[in-house]
Amino acid sequence: MSQPPRKFNPHPFAYHQELDVRIENLTNEGKGVARVDGWVVFVPFALPGELVRCRIFRNHKNYSDSDIVQVIEPSPHRVEHVCAVFGTCGGCQYQHLSYDQQVEGKRRQVEELLHHMAKIDHPVLPVIISPKQYGYRSKITPHFHRPKDGELSEIGFLRVGTRNAMVDVKECPIAMPQLNTALTKAREAARAGSCKNGATILLRAADNGVLTRPDAIAVEHVGSMKFEFQAGDFFQNNPFILPEFVGYAVRKAKASGAKYLVDAYCGSGLFGICAAPEFEEVIGVEISETAVAKAAHNAEINGLTNCRFLAADATAIFAQVPHVGSETVVIIDPPRAGCSPEFLQQLFAFAPKLVVYVSCNPATQMRDLVLFSEAGYNLGEVQPFDLFPQTKHLECVMTLSKQS
Ligand SMILES: C[S@@+](CC[C@H](N)C(=O)[O-])C[C@H]1O[C@@H](n2cnc3c(N)ncnc32)[C@H](O)[C@@H]1O
């Protein structure tokens, strides 16, 4: 048996002890959960119902981490993974699980988070699937570390379960094909170059080709609207599902009957601009000055004269809205951390008749949902979208209406 690391805690299992365990369910991180005499053992890349052999590498206070050694009885939902580095690359968690089960698992995850975090039993609609399950990502950012003795080692993504170690990625099957062509060239250039430091390579696929400079202008169309943005700035990176995703949020906002729309955390104006034909006025707010400048530009190139955008912390928006909350709908799409308490306080004081809350992190969305309920908002439709097939990530849109 291998030598345990210096700080290894030997209870309840020995280092590298092998166990045959039955997987009960999956964590939100995509790990299999087994119980050995009530003690939880996490087994990555194992699926519910499977009997697997695992090898313990760490015992925590009340659970253990293991590696998967062998699948003894596979799940009927197990499929062959596509990527050569699946299981070592930290990018994808679910290539071994059939797509219908991936999305059902994500739907259940939202339902369980609603139950446990927001203490609400509420129906969650079936996940709206991505039209492409591979080859969908429009942006990848492979990285390499500072070369050692002049030798550049891995160029790729973080190794699973680590914060610094890399895995060499020659091809990323969830990325759009043109990004993989560009990746081959970028890898060759990095190896041929005389890099002294580590670096992150930007590869962004847009209507105007593959862009590699963060300040290059990317062009993308969503429905009938044209968007320009800096290649290094935020833009939703599954263009195939975007029309349906944005269309849904706009339909929900419009159904409120409100005349005015506030687009908070608006980036380069995606939701506000797509919704603008449905409203008398759209006011957006975004902290990134380059993104918000593009939002104003995007309104102009689409011939929209009823939009204005503010470069500021989202909290500043309410002082700028000349309309009453009862005639206004707010779309919010914050970063993973969710909304700040100050933003929510001001939002509740403004009291919009409807809020469409778009989130890429259901845990912070649930945290905020508790405050919405306390502020007198009713939860309506909960609609997840699978923007990121093969990965643990999910996007969820919740509609919240003010009790009258
Ligand atoms: C998930 S992105 C959404 C962008 C846009 N709605 C879209 O779909 O393209 C979140 C955006 O919030 C912006 N942001 C982060 N913190 C902010 C803050 N405190 N106030 C305003 N915007 C913020 C980020 O720069 C980013 O553009």
* Span from the CA of 329 to the centroid of ligand 1 (angstroms): 18
52-61, 117-126, 184-193: least confidently modelled range: 184-193
Is 236 assigned a ligand-binding role in the annotation? yes
Question: Does the annotation list 265 as a binding residue?
Answer: yes
The pair phi, psi for residue 223, each rounded to 5°, is 60, -130
What tens digit of pLDDT does each residue of 5-38 get?
999 999 999 999 999 999 999 999 999 999 999 9
Mutate to test the pocket of ligand 1, among 204, 287, 343 (most ligand atoms within 8 A of CB): 287
Could you give the ipTM of this predicted complex? 0.99
Q: Where in the chain is the domain with CATH 2.40.50.140?
A: 18-73
* Ligand 1 centroid, distance to 98 Cα (angstroms): 32
Higher pLDDT, 246 or 6: 246
Q: Answer for the pair 86, 96: CB distance below 8 angstroms, yes or no.
A: yes
Closest ligand 1 atom to residue 291 Cα is 27
CB of 266 sitting under 6 A from ligand 1: yes
- 15 labeled part of a ligand binding site: no
142 upstream amide cis, omega within 30 of 0: no
**Does residue 288 line the site of ligand 1, with CB under 6 A?**
yes
CB 299 within 8 A of CB 269: yes
Residue 274 among the catalytic residues: no
CATH of domain 18-73: 2.40.50.140
This prediction's pTM? 0.95
Through-space distance between the first and last CA atoms of the chain, rounded to whole angstroms: 67
Q: Which CATH superfamily is domain 100-132+218-402 in?
A: Vaccinia Virus protein VP39 (3.40.50.150)
Is the CB of 341 inside a 6 Å radius of any atom of ligand 1?
Answer: no
Start and end residues for every CATH 3.40.50.150 domain found in the chain: 100-132+218-402
Question: Of the candidates 311, 319, 360, 370, which has an alpha carbon nearest to the alpha carbon of residue 336?
Answer: 360
Span 307-363, pLDDT tens digits: 999 999 999 999 999 999 999 999 999 999 999 999 999 999 999 999 999 999 999
Alpha helices in 133-241 (DSSP H): 177-192
**284 DSSP β-pair partners:** 263, 309
314 lines ligand 1 (CB under 6 A): yes
